[in-house]
Amino acid sequence: MTTFRIKRYNPEKQPEPYYEDFQLDIPDGSTLLDCINLIKWKQDGSLTYRMSCRSAICGSCGMKVNGRAILACQRQAVSQVDKDDTVTIEPLGNMQPIKDLVVDFEPFWEKVHKVKPYLQTNEQPPEKERQQAPEQFRLIDDSSTCIMCGNCYSDCNVLEVDDNFLGPAALAKAQRFVSDSRDEKTLERVTELSEPGGIWDCTHCGECVERCPKPAEPFYRIKEIMTVALEQGVHNNNGARHALSFANSVKASGRLNENRIPVESVGIFNIKGLMDLIPIGIRMLLKRKIPPIFHKSIDDVKDVKRIFKELGQ
């Protein structure tokens, strides 16, 4: 018998969530969703969760299993059993629970809508379809596989501390249009996406790549938007300045100049930003943790410069 420890919540009956244990013999070959269905059908009909396709297409059955977001229909139940013969099931994170494993997706959808997830063109639609070459489609192939399950949103490290972040799913959706050869609002899009809460607030933790059940892998899509934003000249923000300063530093010496990058990231005319750097600067100085004032180049830096030049950077 395996214990399925499920987080229950029904605000009409009890304000606080609680855990309830269900015992089940896992039938051979069953997915985690099959097991949850069996518990609902045979043990407690009030257990509430979303599900539909059972084949990792619809994205409805996202839930946290042993602390990580997965699609319940995409995993064999036995693969989720821990060393104590228990599977712990909780609602997705970073969203408010409504009942049991069902969470409120409203903020998630609001953010998806915010990135304008539709083609924007300047001209009237053609009589027939707008065509794309295979190599043009390849740029948006991965992001177009997103099934909006919310798993990446659930486990995003930034969203845990900042509701203002658009989050990985909305940003992956944004890349779907930023890189679409038929869309004509690229500059407007990357300008908006470079504002606070957008691409530069991604902390690079890779958690969304790990939780994504499809090839959408939002972190990599966010990086692709960053590249387009820099190419389009949207440089008036700390994230872009940081990337440019970093690359310039490597170009000049082969390594990062840690004394310059904080100053160049906040902007050399940004008095408030520079003032904010003073406490950490003094603290580091007092402990002799300031990087060398005379920044030394790596050996054979000429070759590094040559590579930059050859790639037009």
Applying CB under 8 A, the residues found at the interface with another protein are 67-68, 157-158, 160-162, 165, 196, 200-207, 209-210, 217, 223, 226-227, 230, 237-239, 242-244, 246-247, 249-250, 254-256, 258, 262, 265-266, 276, 279-280, 283-284, 287-292, 298-301, 303-304, 306-308, 310-311, 313
Q: Determine the Cα–Cα distance for residues 306 and 313; give it in Å rounded to an integer.
A: 10
Q: Determine the Cα–Cα distance for residues 4 and 14; give it in Å rounded to an integer.
A: 21
CB of 77 to another protein, least distance (A): 17
Q: Which is nearer to another protein, 40 or 251 (CB)?
A: 251
CB of 163 to another protein, least distance (A): 10
CB of 196 to another protein, least distance (A): 7
Q: Which is nearer to another protein, 48 or 259 (CB)?
A: 259
Q: Are 308 and 251 in contact (CB under 8 A)?
A: yes
Q: Are 103 and 92 in contact (CB under 8 A)?
A: yes
Strand partners, 68: 65
CB of 180 to another protein, least distance (A): 19
Q: Are 177 and 188 in contact (CB under 8 A)?
A: no
| Count of CB atoms situated within 10 Å of the CB of 55 | 10
3-state secondary structure (DSSP) of residue 241: helix
3-state secondary structure (DSSP) of residue 273: helix
DSSP 27: P
> What is the sign, positive or negative, of the torsion defined by CA atoms of 274, 277, 283, 284?
negative
Q: How many residues does the chain have?
A: 313
Q: Determine the Cα–Cα distance for residues 216 and 56; give it in Å rounded to an integer.
A: 14
| Count of CB atoms situated within 10 Å of the CB of 253 | 16
Q: Which is nearer to another protein, 50 or 221 (CB)?
A: 221
CB of 3 to another protein, least distance (A): 19
Q: Which is nearer to another protein, 184 or 303 (CB)?
A: 303
CB of 41 to another protein, least distance (A): 30
Of 82, 76, 1, the closest CA to residue 32 belongs to 76
CB of 312 to another protein, least distance (A): 8
Q: Which is nearer to another protein, 125 or 292 (CB)?
A: 292
Q: Which is nearer to another protein, 38 or 90 (CB)?
A: 90
Q: Determine the Cα–Cα distance for residues 172 and 301; give it in Å rounded to an integer.
A: 36
Residue corresponding to tokens 């410069």: 305
Q: Which is nearer to another protein, 93 or 97 (CB)?
A: 93
Q: Are 50 and 100 in contact (CB under 8 A)?
A: no
CB of 152 to another protein, least distance (A): 12
Q: Which is nearer to another protein, 26 or 159 (CB)?
A: 159
